[in-house]
Amino acid sequence: MINKILKLAGCIVMCELVGMIGAIFTVKAVTGWYMTLYKPSFTPPSWIFGPVWSLLYMMMGFALFIVWESPAKFKGAAYAFFFIQLALNLLWSIIFFGTHSITGGLINIAALWLMILMTLAAFSQISSIAAWLLVPYILWVSYAAALNAAILRLN
């Protein structure tokens, strides 16, 4: 039992760390460069991003744990897709906020969305619960992609 708790905690902490590293690039830009951009009317208040992303990273970690604990034999693709999307997730913060590249961010988030979809599909072959845990994530990234595209259009 302790081993499972440690695995679960490790999965969640790893995902949350990605968010914390991304926040290093985000926090400084949000109070500076990002404030100078024209944004669409559907831009949420800045305070919403932290809680939403924290919850999404937790759900991603839990989904990864479920796949890890599954008796399924062929999980290599699911793991590969998961870790690629996790890297793309971090890279978006670096590109968009760190380098101030709205276009680069849009290209990255398109690749991220595709990798989340592939992860969701791979996870669904192993555990429907793990796949469903990623649905809010792909929905939020879809919204973020629309926001990124609108910011590019307006600026």
Does the CA dihedral 22-24-27-33 come out positive or negative? negative
pLDDT in tens, 37-74: 999 999 999 899 999 999 999 999 999 999 999 999 99
Phi then psi for residue 22, to 5 deg, are -60, -35
User: What was the pLDDT predicted at 52?
Assistant: 98
Provide the 8-state DSSP code for 73: S
Mean pLDDT score, 9-38: 95
- Of 151, 146, 137, 149, which is closest to residue 19 (Cα–Cα)? 137
Domains of the chain in start order, with CATH, are 2-154 (1.20.1260.100)
- Count other Cβ atoms within 10 Å, centred on residue 155: 10
pLDDT in tens, 68-99: 999 999 999 999 999 999 999 999 999 999 99
Phi then psi for residue 103, to 5 deg, are -65, -50
Contact residues for 153 (Cβ-Cβ < 8 A; gap 6+): none
Provide the 8-state DSSP code for 33: G
pTM as predicted: 0.96
pLDDT in tens, 119-150: 999 999 999 999 999 999 999 999 999 999 99
**pLDDT band at residue 1 using 50, 70 and 90 as cut-offs:** confident
Query: In the chain, what percentage of residues exceed pLDDT 90?
Result: 95
Q: Which pair of structure tokens corresponds to residue 79?
A: 């793991």
Phi then psi for residue 47, to 5 deg, are -65, -20
Do 32 and 106 contact (CB within 8 A), yes or no? no
Do 11 and 65 contact (CB within 8 A), yes or no? yes
Q: Which pair of structure tokens corresponds to residue 119?
A: 């992860």
By three-state DSSP, how is residue 1 classified?
A: coil
Q: Which pair of structure tokens corresponds to residue 23?
A: 């926040």
